[in-house]
Structure 1
């Protein structure tokens, strides 16, 4: 199994009636901005371990499990759906707790990358530099889609409450590792075995359950409004590095309804953005090429202009 080079420590922080699970590496340092790493959909903070181990520097790193993922759960029954603005508020309160008024370096992957972009426009004074790893956001929607979208949201809520959207449980942790490798064929066995023990946990029946609420599978009742998103992007003051994988995961997921070229067009709204690519990598680039991702992050964060 994969051996951690830089073990993390974890704690729980009260945030908006939640007990937020937060992972840290390194120690607070007055000479360097704190580095905050935020994970994507159906992922966990431990997912950053390989990049942390590959990093040359020993920085103070803060990585939360988003609400409803990992070990960040609401007391009592889990919510039956999640609202995107909550992630922005959660991050803001976590930064209040850990760093006060200090500006941070922020790195986000996938859903976490999109959250990071929005947060950097909403709170531009809090971000020194931003790295977006495949945080594409969503396909543009039109007002005509609203009636069907709301009906679909209601139907999925009913399905969830009938128990029809539960996440699959696995008989063994090896089954979880195999699932991870099926989803990402580039993931090596030793990393899959290590991740499986952080991505899932045994339940009372001895099966391994994914650490993610089924409510995350519910479609957002609100349409994705591109014009509003671009206005937020225009407010970003920090330099931004957008990193995509050589394998076009965006095209594979959206089947032509949202393309990499369209995302690159959106990036033009960011005042100071540059782009680069990681070869021999898919969407989970921080698992596929952790050394290259760590190098790109560190070189960009260390750049003076």
Structure 2
């Protein structure tokens, strides 16, 4: 019989209205502690950080650990129109205005969440004290010649209502999670699948607006991202999993990837062996220990 995963440090839930959208917030750690925002990636939710929290050293649990479900993900409400990347920046800005209006905060983001956090830290550098990015290094470079086909695909997608395909059961979603990340254990995959789904109108569905799967009509412009990164004043920790796989996906050489890292004036970069894209699942203890040590070292400087 499969062992059931049980969180060591269960989360608490709050609800906030952010720019007219009801956001569900998970919290761990000590209320009143120093705020540390945990920002999840695409097609994920705040529960993704549970394994890292359970493996965290005591020092990290002294923070007020706050993880929102982004708009259209998890238990947060869906947007009336589509989803555009700048909306996440504006949502984070409004969230910080509510949670920590008078003090800089620490940000930790995975994948898309790391991209949001890194851009925000350069756009409002006075609001970010320390920054941690877990595989949130940006997207592959694009060229202007890709724009016509991208816009055309988006226009066609807008004409067809997004289809929500019901799940046959939790094992189906757990299997998808393990197919994407074979290092994820069966018990953790089953727990995360339950957090990523809910019964809607008598059918089990993944908790994500299917419009998130529409193509972004605006091309990713690496030069703009790099311009924002150069404005970051906070010390930065970049954690990567399998670097060779990452560079293959980006289509970059190690020298090209180094140019991304060179944008940050104060950067600590670590590659964790035997980890994939979801390194906070593959090595939650190592990730939590690296984050805790980074915060401690930054506080001494």
Aligned residues of 1:33 and 1:102 also touching (Cα < 8 A):
no
Partner of 2:21: 18
User: Which of 194, 197, 200 lines up with 1:200 in the alignment?
Assistant: 197
- What SS class does the counterpart of residue 139 from structure 2 fall into? coil
User: Which of 265, 269, 276 lines up with 1:271 in the alignment?
Assistant: 265
Give me the whole-angstrom Cα distance separating, in 2, the residues matched to 1:266 and 1:247: 14
Cα distance, 1:167 vs. partner?
4.7
Aligned residues of 2:167 and 2:173 also touching (Cα < 8 A):
yes
Give me the whole-angstrom Cα distance separating, in 2, the residues matched to 1:260 and 1:62: 34
Q: How does 1:31-180 map to 2 (within 5 A)?
A: 33-57=34-58, 58=61, 59-74=63-78, 79=80, 81-159=82-160, 161=161, 163=162, 166-180=163-177
User: Which of 208, 213, 216 lines up with 1:212 in the alignment?
Assistant: 208
2:245 is the counterpart of 1:242: no
Deviations 1:15-74 (A, max 9, x none): 111001110112333xx5311100000000001001011111222100000111001113
- What SS class does the counterpart of residue 269 from structure 1 fall into? coil
Aligned residues of 2:280 and 2:287 also touching (Cα < 8 A):
yes
Cα distance, 1:293 vs. partner?
0.6
Give me the whole-angstrom Cα distance separating, in 2, the residues matched to 1:250 and 1:237: 26
Deviations 1:272-292 (A, max 9, x none): 112101111100111111001
Partner of 1:228: 224
For structure 1, list consecutive stretches of 5 or more residues without a partner in the other structure: none
TM-score (normalised: structure 2): 0.92
Give me the whole-angstrom Cα distance separating, in 1, the residues matched to 2:155 and 2:172: 33
For structure 2, list consecutive stretches of 5 or more residues without a partner in the other structure: none
CA RMSD between the two structures: 1.7
- What SS class does the counterpart of residue 97 from structure 2 fall into? helix
Partner of 1:280: 274
2:293 is the counterpart of 1:299: yes
- What SS class does the counterpart of residue 101 from structure 1 fall into? coil
